[in-house]
Amino acid sequence: MNAILESSQVFESFRTRAEAVSAQVERVATSELALELIISKLHLEGVRDEAHCYAVWAECPMIGTPEKKRLEAAVPGLKFDVTRELAADAKVGVSQMDWALANTGTLVQRADEVDRRLVSTLPLLHIALVATAALLPDLPSVLARIDPAKSKYFSFITGPSRTADIERVLTIGVHGPERLLIVLVDDLEVTA
Protein backbone atom coordinates (compact mmCIF):
# COMPACT_ATOMS: atom_id res chain seq x y z
CA MET A 1 0.00 0.00 0.00
CA ASN A 2 2.83 2.45 0.84
CA ALA A 3 4.47 1.83 -2.57
CA ILE A 4 1.20 2.71 -4.33
CA LEU A 5 0.78 5.86 -2.23
CA GLU A 6 4.41 6.86 -2.82
CA SER A 7 4.04 6.24 -6.58
CA SER A 8 0.89 8.36 -6.65
CA GLN A 9 2.64 11.18 -4.78
CA VAL A 10 5.62 11.08 -7.18
CA PHE A 11 3.24 11.26 -10.15
CA GLU A 12 1.29 14.18 -8.67
CA SER A 13 4.54 16.02 -7.90
CA PHE A 14 5.70 15.49 -11.49
CA ARG A 15 2.37 16.63 -12.94
CA THR A 16 2.30 19.75 -10.78
CA ARG A 17 5.87 20.75 -11.72
CA ALA A 18 5.46 19.96 -15.44
CA GLU A 19 2.17 21.85 -15.70
CA ALA A 20 3.74 24.81 -13.85
CA VAL A 21 6.11 25.22 -16.83
CA SER A 22 3.27 24.94 -19.39
CA ALA A 23 3.53 21.24 -20.24
CA GLN A 24 0.36 19.18 -20.57
CA VAL A 25 0.44 15.82 -18.74
CA GLU A 26 -1.72 12.77 -19.48
CA ARG A 27 -1.52 9.34 -17.88
CA VAL A 28 -2.87 6.16 -19.46
CA ALA A 29 -2.90 2.54 -18.30
CA THR A 30 -1.74 0.82 -21.48
CA SER A 31 0.38 1.34 -24.58
CA GLU A 32 -2.76 0.71 -26.66
CA LEU A 33 -4.52 3.62 -24.94
CA ALA A 34 -1.42 5.76 -25.47
CA LEU A 35 -1.52 5.04 -29.21
CA GLU A 36 -5.24 5.92 -29.34
CA LEU A 37 -4.56 9.17 -27.48
CA ILE A 38 -1.73 10.09 -29.85
CA ILE A 39 -3.80 9.29 -32.95
CA SER A 40 -6.54 11.53 -31.56
CA LYS A 41 -4.07 14.36 -30.84
CA LEU A 42 -2.52 14.08 -34.31
CA HIS A 43 -5.97 14.36 -35.88
CA LEU A 44 -6.80 17.37 -33.68
CA GLU A 45 -3.54 19.01 -34.77
CA GLY A 46 -4.51 18.56 -38.42
CA VAL A 47 -1.62 16.25 -39.28
CA ARG A 48 -1.80 15.29 -42.94
CA ASP A 49 0.48 14.45 -45.82
CA GLU A 50 1.47 17.95 -46.90
CA ALA A 51 4.20 20.44 -46.08
CA HIS A 52 4.09 21.99 -42.61
CA CYS A 53 1.46 19.44 -41.53
CA TYR A 54 3.60 16.33 -41.01
CA ALA A 55 4.26 14.45 -37.79
CA VAL A 56 7.56 12.65 -37.22
CA TRP A 57 8.07 9.78 -34.77
CA ALA A 58 11.56 8.73 -33.63
CA GLU A 59 12.42 5.04 -33.31
CA CYS A 60 11.42 3.74 -29.91
CA PRO A 61 10.82 0.41 -28.16
CA MET A 62 7.09 1.11 -27.77
CA ILE A 63 6.27 0.61 -31.44
CA GLY A 64 7.24 -2.14 -33.84
CA THR A 65 6.35 -2.73 -37.47
CA PRO A 66 2.67 -3.67 -36.87
CA GLU A 67 2.06 -0.50 -34.83
CA LYS A 68 3.85 1.65 -37.42
CA LYS A 69 1.66 0.30 -40.22
CA ARG A 70 -1.47 0.91 -38.15
CA LEU A 71 -0.38 4.44 -37.26
CA GLU A 72 0.55 5.32 -40.86
CA ALA A 73 -2.87 4.09 -42.03
CA ALA A 74 -4.69 6.02 -39.30
CA VAL A 75 -2.73 9.27 -39.74
CA PRO A 76 -1.63 10.16 -43.28
CA GLY A 77 1.35 12.47 -42.90
CA LEU A 78 2.91 10.55 -40.01
CA LYS A 79 6.52 9.69 -40.88
CA PHE A 80 8.94 7.29 -39.19
CA ASP A 81 11.95 7.94 -41.45
CA VAL A 82 13.09 11.11 -39.70
CA THR A 83 15.40 13.53 -41.51
CA ARG A 84 16.47 17.01 -40.50
CA GLU A 85 14.42 18.52 -43.33
CA LEU A 86 11.30 16.53 -42.51
CA ALA A 87 11.54 17.31 -38.78
CA ALA A 88 12.01 21.03 -39.51
CA ASP A 89 8.90 20.93 -41.71
CA ALA A 90 6.83 18.88 -39.23
CA LYS A 91 4.05 20.18 -37.04
CA VAL A 92 4.38 17.40 -34.42
CA GLY A 93 7.27 15.28 -33.15
CA VAL A 94 6.83 12.12 -31.05
CA SER A 95 9.58 10.43 -29.03
CA GLN A 96 10.00 8.13 -26.07
CA MET A 97 11.83 9.46 -23.04
CA ASP A 98 13.96 7.35 -20.71
CA TRP A 99 13.10 9.02 -17.40
CA ALA A 100 11.05 11.81 -15.83
CA LEU A 101 12.00 13.78 -12.71
CA ALA A 102 9.21 14.48 -10.24
CA ASN A 103 10.82 17.38 -8.39
CA THR A 104 11.23 19.52 -11.53
CA GLY A 105 8.81 18.12 -14.13
CA THR A 106 11.82 17.38 -16.33
CA LEU A 107 12.11 14.69 -19.02
CA VAL A 108 15.42 12.92 -19.62
CA GLN A 109 16.33 11.17 -22.85
CA ARG A 110 19.40 9.29 -24.01
CA ALA A 111 19.71 11.11 -27.32
CA ASP A 112 22.71 9.66 -29.14
CA GLU A 113 20.45 8.98 -32.14
CA VAL A 114 19.88 12.21 -34.03
CA ASP A 115 16.23 11.39 -34.82
CA ARG A 116 15.40 11.58 -31.11
CA ARG A 117 16.88 15.07 -30.88
CA LEU A 118 15.26 16.26 -34.10
CA VAL A 119 11.68 15.28 -33.18
CA SER A 120 11.96 16.76 -29.69
CA THR A 121 13.39 20.12 -30.80
CA LEU A 122 12.19 21.11 -34.29
CA PRO A 123 8.38 20.58 -34.54
CA LEU A 124 5.95 23.00 -32.88
CA LEU A 125 4.46 20.29 -30.65
CA HIS A 126 6.50 17.58 -28.96
CA ILE A 127 4.64 14.52 -27.66
CA ALA A 128 6.83 12.72 -25.15
CA LEU A 129 6.10 9.14 -24.07
CA VAL A 130 7.38 7.97 -20.70
CA ALA A 131 7.00 4.72 -18.79
CA THR A 132 5.30 5.57 -15.50
CA ALA A 133 7.83 3.26 -13.80
CA ALA A 134 10.61 5.56 -15.14
CA LEU A 135 9.30 8.43 -13.04
CA LEU A 136 12.08 9.21 -10.55
CA PRO A 137 12.08 11.61 -7.60
CA ASP A 138 15.07 13.82 -8.54
CA LEU A 139 18.29 14.41 -10.49
CA PRO A 140 20.54 12.25 -8.27
CA SER A 141 18.18 9.33 -8.98
CA VAL A 142 18.68 9.62 -12.73
CA LEU A 143 22.42 10.34 -12.48
CA ALA A 144 22.83 7.04 -10.63
CA ARG A 145 21.34 5.29 -13.69
CA ILE A 146 23.38 7.02 -16.38
CA ASP A 147 26.30 5.08 -17.79
CA PRO A 148 28.54 7.42 -19.82
CA ALA A 149 30.14 4.40 -21.50
CA LYS A 150 26.77 3.52 -23.09
CA SER A 151 25.57 6.97 -24.03
CA LYS A 152 27.34 10.27 -24.51
CA TYR A 153 24.39 12.58 -25.23
CA PHE A 154 21.46 13.30 -22.92
CA SER A 155 18.60 15.74 -23.34
CA PHE A 156 16.92 17.30 -20.31
CA ILE A 157 13.59 18.90 -21.24
CA THR A 158 11.56 21.00 -18.82
CA GLY A 159 8.44 22.35 -20.50
CA PRO A 160 8.16 23.91 -23.95
CA SER A 161 10.98 26.10 -25.22
CA ARG A 162 11.02 29.51 -23.58
CA THR A 163 13.29 32.50 -23.32
CA ALA A 164 13.07 35.99 -21.86
CA ASP A 165 14.88 39.23 -22.61
CA ILE A 166 16.46 41.58 -20.09
CA GLU A 167 13.08 43.21 -19.50
CA ARG A 168 11.63 39.79 -18.57
CA VAL A 169 9.42 39.55 -21.64
CA LEU A 170 8.76 35.82 -21.98
CA THR A 171 8.59 34.24 -25.42
CA ILE A 172 7.53 30.61 -25.95
CA GLY A 173 8.85 28.41 -28.76
CA VAL A 174 11.90 30.41 -29.87
CA HIS A 175 14.47 27.61 -29.61
CA GLY A 176 12.21 24.57 -29.76
CA PRO A 177 8.61 23.40 -29.46
CA GLU A 178 5.89 25.83 -28.42
CA ARG A 179 3.96 23.03 -26.72
CA LEU A 180 4.85 19.84 -24.86
CA LEU A 181 2.47 16.95 -24.22
CA ILE A 182 3.80 14.30 -21.82
CA VAL A 183 2.07 10.92 -21.89
CA LEU A 184 2.91 8.61 -18.98
CA VAL A 185 2.12 4.98 -19.80
CA ASP A 186 1.62 2.54 -16.91
CA ASP A 187 2.36 -0.70 -18.79
CA LEU A 188 5.32 0.62 -20.77
CA GLU A 189 8.64 -0.96 -19.84
CA VAL A 190 11.53 1.19 -18.68
CA THR A 191 14.02 1.47 -21.55
CA ALA A 192 17.17 2.49 -19.70
Q: Along the 192 residues of the chain, how does pLDDT read in single tens digits?
A: 444 445 778 899 999 999 998 899 999 999 999 999 999 999 999 999 998 999 999 999 888 889 999 999 999 999 999 999 999 999 999 999 999 999 999 999 988 889 998 999 889 999 999 999 999 999 999 989 988 888 888 888 887 655 555 565 545 545 567 899 999 999 998 876
Residues 153 and 110: beta-carbon distance below 8 Å: yes
What per-residue confidence (pLDDT) applies to 104?
A: 93
Q: How many residues belong to the chain? A: 192
DSSP, residue by residue, 24-43: EEEEESSHHHHHHHHHHHHH
What per-residue confidence (pLDDT) applies to 175?
A: 56
Domain positions in the chain = 2-185
What DSSP state is assigned to residue 36?
H
What DSSP state is assigned to residue 132?
G
Residues 33 and 191: beta-carbon distance below 8 Å: no
Q: Which CATH architecture has domain 2-185?
A: 3-Layer(aba) Sandwich (3.40)
